[in-house]
Structure 1
Amino acid sequence: MRTFRSRLIQLHQCRGADWKVMESFLIFDPTLQSIYDMSATELRRFGLTNEQAHVFYEDLHIRMPWKISHVKAGEIKAVTRYDQAYPERLSHIYDPPWVIYCIGNQQLLHDQKALSVVGSRYPSKNAETAMNFILNPIVSEGWTLISGLAIGIDTLAHRLALHQGRTVAVLGSGFKHIYPNLNQELASLIAKKGLLISEYPPDRPPEKHQFPERNRIISGLSAGTLVIEARKRSGSLITADQAIEQGRDVFCLPGRITDAHADGTNRLIQQGAKLVLEADDILNELAHFWEKETSTI
């Protein structure tokens, strides 16, 4: 017999079940039971196009991706928004994911001492030196680094954290489609020593719109976000904007005003983000956040 939890996970894995569609399902029927009895035509009432409705119906009744996914028993854990294991910090953002899929140390979902690190996919030669200088003391203080497994700053942050601490990688695709492909080995290492998470079902391939979507999770799990080298228009600025909307601290490494890699970060500083010259610029700011948060427990 299907429980509400299993229905939520099953519906979530069907193609076309984006965040808004799932919200519409739950508003229409909080038990989600009646969705199983609807035809493809009836499913269009939830904002699905005719094609999306037929694909969704096919997944729900014929293809059943939750039954055919190539996942070893127990390797992937699904955490729904209604589970006790769901991270409280993430539950307070505007559009928390309905389901999070996890491989690795699930306890890291609840690590209050978490800092997200984002930045350029093509960082300058000085970026790694600056990151080591700023982030090594932070990791030594027991902070978990959260990033998105992209090439560049994300990769550097994950590798730095793995040397002496903990890291969480938030994917923009399902676990069967690690992106970028060259970070397959890094993803496997994080799964063993840290945590891989995604709001996308294991079979979901990478799609362009999914990467900006996942940025809200990167910032949402963190006490603050550090931006290192971001151009004027970049995905890192989307993460920073999400952090600001979520009421989280944003920190930026400054750069030369003539350096295109630093244009985005310099402008964030101009708009009120905290300029970072050393680890204590972050630790002192987040110590206040930490004290305020622990005092409410």
Structure 2
Amino acid sequence: MEKKEWRLIHLHCIIGTNRNFIRKVMNEDPEFEQMYKWDVQQWKEKFQIYDKKAFFIVEKLQNKSIKQKIVHYVETYQVLTIYSKDYPVSLREIPDPPLVLYLHGNPRLLSHTPNLSVVGTRYPSKFARSIMANILIPLFKYDFLITSGMAVGIDGFAHQLAIQHQSPTIAVLGSGFEHIYPKQHLTLFTQLAKQDLIISEYPPDQAPRKYHFPERNRIISGLSFGTLVIEAKEKSGTLITVDQALEQGKEVFAVPGSVLAETSSGCNQLIKDGAKLVQTSNDILEEYHLKQRTLE
């Protein structure tokens, strides 16, 4: 790992995922060398920040314990930065790529294709599991990798289904690896770390925050060629992933449902708005093969 990458990780651990601010530092100091020499006043003047934030940054950049913690992270997990040669091309191309990624598990899955993201409500209907099995199991025969967010409900079902059928899967977390959320998925986390892959743009000691979950959705959609929505209410966090997918130019698929079911209202609206209606795996396979022919 280059020195520049270590320095970026250092700043990232201090600032968190305020990518706009980190990019401003990147523009001012491309090698992240000079930032260690700037005093409080220089930080204030260069980036228009308050005393408190400037003092905090200067103090943390000199803090040896943070540097030691980063060494531990790099030795325990694989850490990629936007400068890494192994950084996934699919994420490099999205409008707001993560600057640092922490990986736990099999990093080769980052380049696996085809990759389909599967998202949906945390409170699925009694039909959700059978619907997912009907659509996803045939895709596993074509070596589809499933990416989701390890949340309760649809996300968890998607990962579990992939594991049961020995098909690859990636979980993108809204917290660091030392703060598994939700806690009831600790066993799932352990399974994924052994044979599949878990990703987070949050340092391992970072606890979950409410804004992390909509933020991580751009990574879920960014890794895949398309996003499949199984069940979602009309106003739900799931639809944030759809917005991200559309912004990234990715395909959006939706499973229709009863007009009487609240968990289908979001999917039905997506279909009205132009998402591809999915009844069987063939609906996804057709779109994937069409996209591949277009790229050839």
TM-score normalised to the size of structure 2? 0.94
Does the 8 Å contact 2:9/2:70 carry over to 1? no
Q: Please say which of residues 76-85 and 10-19 is displaced more in the overlay.
A: 10-19
Match of 1:248 in 2: 250
Match of 2:275 in 1: 273
1:259 and 2:258 aligned: no
Match of 1:130 in 2: 131
Once the two structures are superposed, residues 69-122 of structure 1 have per-residue CA deviations (whole angstroms, 9 ceiling, x without a partner) of 695774301111111101111111001011111011101111121000000001
The structure-2 alpha-carbon separation of the partners of 1:72 and 1:84, relative to structure 1 and needing over 3 Å to count, comes to closer
Query: Which whole-Å CA distance do the structure 1 matches of 2:119 and 2:67 have between them?
Result: 32
Aligned residues, how many? 294
1:290 and 2:292 aligned: yes
Matches within 5 A, 1:123-162: 123-162=124-163
Q: Please say which of residues 76-85 and 284-293 is displaced more in the overlay.
A: 284-293
Does the 8 Å contact 1:16/1:52 carry over to 2? no
Match of 1:3 in 2: 3
Does the 8 Å contact 1:174/1:201 carry over to 2? yes
> Following TM superposition, by how much is the alpha carbon of 1:173 offset from its aligned partner in structure 2, in angstroms?
0.9
Query: Which whole-Å CA distance do the structure 2 matches of 1:291 and 1:283 have between them?
Result: 12
TM-score normalised to the size of structure 1? 0.93
Query: Which whole-Å CA distance do the structure 1 matches of 2:126 and 2:50 have between them?
Result: 47
Query: Which whole-Å CA distance do the structure 2 matches of 1:35 and 1:69 have between them?
Result: 18
Match of 2:198 in 1: 196
Query: Which whole-Å CA distance do the structure 2 matches of 1:123 and 1:70 have between them?
Result: 41
Match of 2:183 in 1: 181
What amino acid is the match of 2:97?
A: P
> Following TM superposition, by how much is the alpha carbon of 1:288 offset from its aligned partner in structure 2, in angstroms?
1.6
% of aligned pairs identical?
A: 43
The structure-2 alpha-carbon separation of the partners of 1:4 and 1:71, relative to structure 1 and needing over 3 Å to count, comes to closer
The structure-2 alpha-carbon separation of the partners of 1:256 and 1:40, relative to structure 1 and needing over 3 Å to count, comes to farther
Match of 2:19 in 1: 19
The structure-2 alpha-carbon separation of the partners of 1:143 and 1:92, relative to structure 1 and needing over 3 Å to count, comes to same
Matches within 5 A, 1:25-104: 25-44=25-44, 45-46=46-47, 48-62=49-63, 64-68=65-69, 71=72, 74-104=75-105
Q: Please say which of residues 10-19 and 135-144 is displaced more in the overlay.
A: 10-19
What amino acid is the match of 2:25?
A: F
Q: Please say which of residues 91-100 and 53-62 is displaced more in the overlay.
A: 53-62
Does the 8 Å contact 2:17/2:201 carry over to 1? no
Q: Please say which of residues 75-84 and 52-61 is displaced more in the overlay.
A: 52-61
Once the two structures are superposed, residues 234-281 of structure 1 have per-residue CA deviations (whole angstroms, 9 ceiling, x without a partner) of 111000111011111000011111211111111111000000000000
> Following TM superposition, by how much is the alpha carbon of 1:48 offset from its aligned partner in structure 2, in angstroms?
4.4
Query: Which whole-Å CA distance do the structure 1 matches of 2:11 and 2:172 have between them?
Result: 22
Q: Please say which of residues 268-277 and 59-68 is displaced more in the overlay.
A: 59-68
> Following TM superposition, by how much is the alpha carbon of 1:49 offset from its aligned partner in structure 2, in angstroms?
4.3
Q: Please say which of residues 238-247 and 257-266 is displaced more in the overlay.
A: 257-266
Query: Which secondary structure state, in structure 2, belongs to the residue aligned with residue 196 of structure 1?
Result: strand
Partner residue of 1:221 out of 206, 217, 223: 223
What amino acid is the match of 1:204?
A: Q
Match of 1:205 in 2: 207
Once the two structures are superposed, residues 169-214 of structure 1 have per-residue CA deviations (whole angstroms, 9 ceiling, x without a partner) of 0011111111111111111110111000011111111111111110
The structure-2 alpha-carbon separation of the partners of 1:114 and 1:17, relative to structure 1 and needing over 3 Å to count, comes to closer
The structure-2 alpha-carbon separation of the partners of 1:50 and 1:189, relative to structure 1 and needing over 3 Å to count, comes to farther
The structure-2 alpha-carbon separation of the partners of 1:4 and 1:70, relative to structure 1 and needing over 3 Å to count, comes to closer
Query: Which whole-Å CA distance do the structure 2 matches of 1:219 and 1:182 have between them?
Result: 24
Does the 8 Å contact 2:10/2:70 carry over to 1? no
What amino acid is the match of 1:114?
A: N
Query: Which whole-Å CA distance do the structure 1 matches of 2:169 and 2:132 have between them?
Result: 15
Once the two structures are superposed, residues 22-50 of structure 1 have per-residue CA deviations (whole angstroms, 9 ceiling, x without a partner) of 11011111111111112344334435444
Q: Please say which of residues 37-46 and 148-157 is displaced more in the overlay.
A: 37-46
Query: Which whole-Å CA distance do the structure 2 matches of 1:179 and 1:58 have between them?
Result: 30
Query: Which secondary structure state, in structure 2, belongs to the residue aligned with residue 182 of structure 1?
Result: helix
User: Runs of 4+ in structure 1 displaced over 4 angstroms?
Assistant: 69-73
Query: Which whole-Å CA distance do the structure 1 matches of 2:74 and 2:243 have between them?
Result: 38
Query: Which whole-Å CA distance do the structure 1 matches of 2:74 and 2:26 have between them?
Result: 29
What amino acid is the match of 1:62?
A: N
> Following TM superposition, by how much is the alpha carbon of 1:292 offset from its aligned partner in structure 2, in angstroms?
3.5
The structure-2 alpha-carbon separation of the partners of 1:188 and 1:71, relative to structure 1 and needing over 3 Å to count, comes to farther
